[in-house]
Amino acid sequence: MFQLKNVDYVVTDEKTGAKKEILKNLNLSFDKGKITVVTGHNGSGKSTLIKLLMGIEKPTNGQILFDDKDITDLAVNEMANLGISIAFQQPVRFKGLTVKDLLDIANERSTNISDACDFLSLVGLCAREYLDRELDNTLSGGEIKRIELALALAKGGEVFLFDEPEAGIDLWSFDDLIGIFKKLKDKTIIIVSHQKKILEIADKVLLMSNQGYQMGERDEILGNMSPSKCARLEVRDE
């Protein structure tokens, strides 16, 4: 189980010294075998939450627990080695590193063609065309987003963090993306999304706003949401 206990996250403006509270007193549990979709307004702290869960940012107060072990102070790579994997909202580009180089690192051993094929074909890409491509500006936004997903899958683990995985992959069938999440059904899945089809597969929904958060079974959180509330949350059909 992945847990946050009494977590606050406060940023300080370097110039004025003013403090801004991004997350306040978060108490959350993410269960194994469940898909939790995190949704809410822009600026409500969704991406910050993902960064805290990966160890990229550290809470100002509180604890992060993984199977009852305190992992609050672990570095990103230590989190990764515990089995936490992430696909970033905006994948980073590298001059000189190829798709295969990254898959090799993710896979911890030399990727043979069939392994790479598996991960790339899961995200709708042909390994033969992409393995030797550099992860630089020659890849389109959609291509690099799919490669980002393939890397998370190649790395594997127990907890998967997907930050807006659907962004920029318009041409790819949503069913394939949903299929990936379903394949990971025995893992802990946390997805930041506004996408209606992704919300539909959620076991639990974490609804975040500047006023606070609500977490519960999907229907409990979204069940009585009016169309106007959906619109305010920018829930999208496609």
Task: Tell me the closest approach of the beta carbon of residue 152 to another protein, in angstroms.
Answer: 9
Residue closer to another protein, measured from CB, 76 or 231 = 76
Contact between 108 and another protein by CB under 8 A: the answer reads yes
Phi, psi of 6 (to 5 degrees): 50, 45
Give, to the nearest 10 degrees, the angle between helix 99-107 and helix 141-155.
Answer: 20
Q: Are 134 and 95 in contact (CB under 8 A)?
A: yes
- For 156-178, b where at least 16 C-beta lie within 10 A, e where not — what string? ebbbbbbbbbbbbbeebeeeebb
Contact between 81 and another protein by CB under 8 A: the answer reads yes
**Whole-number Cα distances in Å, 11 to 14, 17, 72:** 9, 9, 17
Binds another protein by CB under 8 A, chosen from 88, 119, 130, 213: 88
Residue closer to another protein, measured from CB, 79 or 198 = 79
Task: Tell me the closest approach of the beta carbon of residue 202 to another protein, in angstroms.
Answer: 24
**Whole-number Cα distances in Å, 219 to 10, 29, 49, 205:** 31, 18, 22, 9
Task: Tell me the closest approach of the beta carbon of residue 161 to another protein, in angstroms.
Answer: 9
Q: Which stretch binds another protein (CB under 8 A): 13-21, 103-111, 114-122, 220-228?
A: 103-111
Q: Which stretch binds another protein (CB under 8 A): 98-106, 109-117, 172-180, 181-189?
A: 98-106
Strands 204-209, 188-192: parallel, antiparallel or unpaired by DSSP? unpaired
Q: Which residues here bind another protein, judged by CB under 8 A?
A: 54, 56, 75-77, 79-81, 85-86, 88, 91-92, 94-98, 101-102, 105-106, 108, 151, 155
